[in-house]
Amino acid sequence: MTKLKNGEVPMDLDSTSEEAEKEESQVAEAQFLLSEIDEAAKNVEKVLGCQLIILAFHDFAGIERNVVDDFEFYIMERNLNTDSDICILLHTFGGNADAAYHLGIRIQNLAKKQLIIVVPRLAKSAGTLLACAGNKIYVTPIAELGPVDPQVQLPSTGRYVSAKTIRDSLKQVIEAIEESKTSKEQIVKVVFSSIPIAEMGHYESLLNHVKSLLEEVLSRRMKQGKDKKEISEIAEKLIKGFVYHGKAIHIEEAKNIGLEIEVLDGDKLKVVYDIYQKLKKLFDTLNELLEPLIYVAEIPPPTRPYKIKHGLIYMPSIEDWLRMLSIISEIKRSG
């Protein structure tokens, strides 16, 4: 049976012993996969000929300002040879553009030679901004980038959504309010309590701000020495060129935009797919563990960075999950 650090055993009153054993197995597998990812990273370094740093984010985690701190403390502890090429294996749905920019600048300053961003599957939104910090982007045939239009944080959930989406939705809400027979005051109060109005009032400023961030990271590495107009056009396309924030920017599209893309094949592709498969299995295992909290208890899973030798993996906390399960069990007992 899985135990907490204090030795207590979390019990779900509705669980069978078989389910408890399954949970124990899943926790053990998640911990094992972390070590497997570290081992797979050695093969990536050998085949790609660089020092590898993993920055991987589960669906419930994103690039936030604290990631800059975590990364700095991580590289202080790791004995990196900055005279060799540095590869950043990036997997993320996005996050805070300023945090991604800050992290990108720090990594650019760290790498004395080539800085290569490796995208096995996806680097969306702010992840695309971070990927643009590299001299080039290594991708697999299934990799995708995404639009970098401004994201704002919803006060109700804390999650980031496209400012353009909110703006368009707000227009629809206003039209619905005008046609509704329900109390307009009540509707307006509910709607505006969940929308970051101040940020939306500066939508154009947000666009220009994110564009300037993207232009700077591009000009420092990937497009160093290139014409400012060319850099501006690339940034413009990534920020304003798509109607939907979730758009998958595939390999050929990324090349047409002007990004330096190299599609992996042979042994390079094999080792990158190997580490990605282990990462995906880790996240899938955690998702299965989290189902009781997400769909039954309706509790958002807390996330934290798991530091391994070759980088940082941001994912729901296994330890906190066990504590929450114990708390839920106590509530059931007292109820």
Q: Are 59 and 108 found together in one domain?
A: yes
Spatial CA neighbour of 313 closest among 36, 22, 28: 36
Q: Are 54 and 135 found together in one domain?
A: yes
| pLDDT surpassing 80 at residue 62 | yes
Q: Are 142 and 157 found together in one domain?
A: no
| pLDDT surpassing 80 at residue 107 | yes
> Could you give phi then psi for residue 155, rounded to 5 degrees?
-65, -25
- Which of 194, 225, 256 is at the close of a domain? 225
First to last CA, the chain: 24
Q: What pLDDT sits at residue 80?
A: 84
Q: Could you tell me how far CA 15 lies from the centroid of its own chain?
A: 33
| pLDDT surpassing 90 at residue 299 | no
**215-102-77 Cα angle (round to 5):** 140
Q: What pLDDT sits at residue 7?
A: 43
Query: Percentage of the chain surpassing pLDDT 70?
Result: 70
Reduced to 3 states, what is the DSSP secondary structure of residue 304?
A: strand
State the CB neighbour count (10 A cutoff) for residue 170. 15
Q: Are 55 and 133 found together in one domain?
A: yes
> Could you give phi then psi for residue 57, rounded to 5 degrees?
-125, 125
Q: Are 157 and 295 found together in one domain?
A: no
Q: What pLDDT sits at residue 11?
A: 37
Reduced to 3 states, what is the DSSP secondary structure of residue 52?
A: strand
Q: Are 210 and 90 found together in one domain?
A: no
Q: Are 216 and 285 found together in one domain?
A: no
Q: What pLDDT sits at residue 164?
A: 65
Q: Are 108 and 186 found together in one domain?
A: no
| pLDDT surpassing 50 at residue 5 | no
The two tokens of residue 285 are 């295992």
Q: What pLDDT sits at residue 203?
A: 65
Output the domain CATH number for residue 130: 3.90.226
- Which of 225, 259, 278 is at the close of a domain? 225
Judge whether 240 lies within some domain. Answer: no
Which domain, by its residues, includes 99?
17-146+248-334
Q: How many domains does the chain have?
A: 2
Judge whether 320 lies within some domain. Answer: yes
Taking only the tens place, the pLDDT of each residue in 132-184 is 999 999 999 999 999 998 766 665 556 666 666 666 666 666 666 666 655 55
Q: Are 130 and 274 found together in one domain?
A: yes
Q: Are 157 and 197 found together in one domain?
A: yes
Taking only the tens place, the pLDDT of each residue in 41-59 is 999 999 999 999 999 999 9
Tokens 């920055």, located at residue: 55
The two tokens of residue 46 are 């050998």
Q: Are 109 and 257 found together in one domain?
A: yes
CA-CA distance, 226 to 312, in Å (whole number)? Answer: 33
The runs of H, that is alpha helices, within 115-263 are 126-131, 163-179, 184-192, 197-201, 203-220, 228-240, 251-257
Spatial CA neighbour of 231 closest among 247, 220, 243: 220
Mean per-residue pLDDT for 84-91?
96
Q: To which H or E segment does residue 92 belong?
A: none
Q: Are 138 and 48 found together in one domain?
A: yes
* Helix %, strand %, coil % of the chain (to 5): 55, 15, 30
